[in-house]
Amino acid sequence: MYEKPRYMSVAECAQQMLEVENEKGEGAYSENSLAIGVSRLGSENQQFVSGTLKELSTADLGAPLHSLVLLGKRVHELEIDYIKEFAIDKESFDKAFAAEHGKA
């Protein structure tokens, strides 16, 4: 079915990533994998939000352009401290980080 071209939001991207992982089951990431959502980077109304893919799948970051950054296995403590400030739910963020990296 043809759809008019449009920008993908962070929420749509996270939803589609979770659907693909559920379908393929390759274990590349999970609903508890941490990610960062960014919108309108460099503008006066830029927005950052961090959390699990499940949390970001319902996040509203407003107008485009959007980017989603999936955290890798090797993350520096300072990076975690910084992005935690943008967490949707700091407690959930700590639990997801501890589960993925064995520390919080």
User: In sequence order, what DSSP letters do the residues of 61-78 get, joined into one string?
Assistant: --SSPEEEEE--S---HH
Segment 13-22 mean pLDDT: 96
Mean pLDDT score, 65-70: 97
pLDDT score of 102 more than 80 = no
How far, in Å, CA of 56 to CA of 96, rounded? Answer: 13
pTM of the model: 0.89
Alpha-carbon distance 29 to 60, whole Å?
A: 22
**CATH of segment(s) 10-101:** 3.30.950.10
Residue 4 has pLDDT above 70, yes or no: yes
- Pick 50 or 77 by higher pLDDT: 50
Taking all residues of the chain, what is their mean pLDDT, rounded to a whole number?
93
Q: Would you kindly state where each structural domain of the chain is located, as residue ranges? A: 10-101
- Tell me how many helices (H) and strands (E) the chain has: 4, 3
